[in-house]
Amino acid sequence: MFKALSEFVSTHYGRYILLIDEYDIPFISIHLAEWDIKTKKAAQGIIKLLFQTMFKDNDNLLKGLLFGVFEVPLTELGSGANNIKEIRMIPSEESDIQSSILAATHPHSGNGLDALTDSFWFNTNEVKLMLDQSAKTHPAIGTYKSFILATIKEWYNGYYIGCFRCKYNPWSVSSFIETLCSILSQAEPPTSGFQMQAITQSAARAFWVTTGTTGLIEAQIDKHRAQFVSLAKRLLCDYEHCKTLDPQHFEGTYEPVPWLPRGST
């Protein structure tokens, strides 16, 4: 079926670029499935044949781009894909899990393939641009932009992508702005900062937690429990220490909100 579709697209539009999102999910599902070894190998064979059809044996393909959360070495798994260049969002010079996580505090310089990591997720300017666009139909967003941006920072900021810090989760930011606009469309325009504060806070929620499975993470925690316990203790200690620091110590601090009482931020 894919070969027929590929030939049809190529005939009418020329060679194409194939984009695959969450390519790692089939491999994770097979790994976590309660199947016997024979069934798992058969499933991996199906995935291998699919990748061979899409990438290796496809004369109609110009290039392929795959996105995934967990790194799956396709060539080692015998997927049938070759000539792959990996672009990692977080450096992992060490093979063990704890060192890979802690490596985020020692990011790469951004050279070579890592230079593309700034293309992942939103930066502050892009979030501001989204708010400016939304303010055209909902003026209250422009009036209270500083507080709304501070709320977005508090909920969805702080991700490390390679050498770039303070990136925003795109799905969460987009969902938050969409929810905020929906609330403003259904309610009377806010007449005070405190009304807008309540509306903004009601729009904020953990949108991303329902978008994926945690099965592989749970399996890794069980496998490396001692390392994760040690890491969790360190994170908690660092958190308690950070609470005592001046807010200006942190990169990407909140902008002042003039209509709120002192200390409200």
Rounded Cα–Cα distance for residues 46 and 35 (Å): 15
pLDDT at position 14 is: 95
As given in the structure block, the two tokens for residue 65 are 């781009």
pLDDT at position 49 is: 84
- Count the Cβ atoms, other than its own, within 10 Å of residue 23: 21
Contact predicate 103/91, CB 8 Å = yes
The separation between the first and the last C-alpha atoms of the chain, rounded to the nearest angstrom, is 56
Ordered mean pLDDT values, 10 residues apiece, the chain (265 residues)? 93 94 87 90 88 86 85 59 66 46 43 60 91 94 93 85 77 94 90 90 84 70 84 79 60 40 36
pLDDT at position 90 is: 58
Contact predicate 87/117, CB 8 Å = yes
pLDDT at position 102 is: 45
Task: Confirm whether pTM is higher than 0.85.
Answer: no
Q: 167 - beta bridge partners?
A: 159
Contact predicate 69/39, CB 8 Å = no
pLDDT at position 116 is: 63
pLDDT at position 8 is: 96
pLDDT at position 31 is: 84
pLDDT at position 211 is: 59
Distance of CA 25 to the CA centre of its chain: 15
